[in-house]
Amino acid sequence: MTLKKLIYTAITVLAAGSGAMAQTTTSGYFVDDYTYRFQMNPAYSNSKNFVAIPALGNINVAMRGSLHVKDVLYNVNGQTTTFMNPLVSVDEVMKNLGNSNRLGVDLNIPIIATGFKDWGGYNTFTLSARTSVGVKLPGSLFSFLKEGVSNQNYDLGGTRAFGTAYGEIALGHSHDINSKLRVGATMKFLIGLGDVSANFKTANLDLNENDWRVTTEAELNTSLKGMNYTTSVNKNTGHEYVDGIDNDTFGLNGFGMAFDLGASYQLTKDWELSLAVLDFGFISWNENHLATTYGEKTFNTDRYTFSADDEAPNSFENEWNNIRDDISAIYELDNAGNTGGRTTMLGATLNVGAKYTLPVYRNLNFGVLNTTRIQGAFSWTDFRFSANIAPVKWLDGGINMAAGTYGVGFGWILNIHPSGFNLFVGMDHTITKTTKQICVPLSSNASFNLGMNILF
């Protein structure tokens, strides 16, 4: 797979929503009998023991970002097509995009999950498969891909991407310190499968009449067992550069550890404060393959020339197709080979909450929750204001409004827990509009949460 195809596939596939948010729905943070509150704050416990129905305990499908499906998929003559379709105008595409466009996807599938009361508190055990992916794309890249060479200068720097996959074994415990303070912690053992990190810092293109002057700086780290970079040769300079990744095996490639730490404090009879730090940890990878420009470099190329004759082999359309296919040649990364191990940090999450229980009707509470992901260029924050009610013993839920880095949204959760069984369904960002043919949400801020568990 070439780097151009890798970037283009990331835009279209990620925007199509094939992922899930990590942890669990924050709409359930202040719902007392929501089974998976301990994944948002390990100090929280459940009133009953539970065992998840395997792989169905907490299914969460969601996206989060400023790059939306409606920005890259369009309806043309009743058919869904990409922004590259010539029937979609440049102005229509660019008015929907910003200078920096981000999309993040996290997947957390609990294969096994259980919680029980013992040892002076509440204990949890989960076995999960987790994946985290993020893409950050400058608006100038879309302009370059869409409109062609209409300017003399292009700055395509600022493109970043990462992806990591690992297994997680988590052991948690929480208990009361006194009548007001409760604390909890979860220890996580991580089994690394693979990690890719790309940072295309600089890509300045000066397009002259007879040649191009290109200044670049970029680095690509790939920690994946059994992989190698594939290469091509610049016919003008003879320089061999990385154009893709080839992988013929699959296996474990690293180990790590992380912690969730949390506390809740009953300030008064009506007010409760809470704080949690999640996924504070690292993975140490056994192998890492590096592709790099070795700092900033500049080179000239006359590889692409244009003819005004539409029938000529180097017509604008033909040459522009060649440029799009060879976008990796803009960077010309050298293959530095296997550089040995490296260590990466997880994207930690901070939850800060406050809950007010209505004195005249204690089955109703109001909450405010701030969730912040700390992950460098892919950091974000979200404020959620909620109203939660438990009208009967076996039914509770809530509604909420969210505002933050990626705009505003409406969330809700319904939690049904009669004797022996638990079913919950909800959305942190309610899906409103979808594409007609394949029912993909038009906004990248969308989610759906469903879970089934046995209570005892």
213 vs 207, higher pLDDT = 213
Highest mean pLDDT among 152-166, 296-310, 333-347, 412-426: 412-426
What is the structure's pLDDT at 388? 98
The number of folded domains in the chain is 1
State whether residue 30 is helix, strand or coil. Answer: coil
The more confident residue out of 242 and 328 is 242
Q: Which of 251, 123, 104 is nearest to 187 (CA)?
A: 123
* % residues pLDDT > 70 (the chain): 83
Residue-number span of the structural domain to which 377 is assigned = 3-455
- Residue type, position 2, single letter: T
Q: Residue 1's pLDDT is what?
A: 40
**What is the model's pLDDT at position 259?**
98
Higher pLDDT, residue 145 or 384: 384
* pLDDT digits 0-9 by tens, 288-345: 999 999 998 887 766 555 555 556 665 555 655 565 555 556 778 899 999 988 999 9
If you ran DSSP here, which 8-state letter would residue 434 be given?
A: B
Is the pLDDT assigned to residue 132 strictly greater than 70? yes
* pLDDT > 70? residue 249: yes
Within 10 A of 226 (CB to CB), how many other CB atoms are there?
A: 12
**What are the tens digits of pLDDT across the range 94-128?**
888 888 888 877 777 889 999 999 999 999 999 99
The DSSP code sequence of 262-313 is EEEEE-SSSEEEEEEEEEEEEEEES--EEEE-SS-EEEEE-----BS-TTST
Q: What is the pLDDT, as a whole number, of residue 235? A: 73
Q: Judge whether residue 17 has pLDDT over 60.
A: no
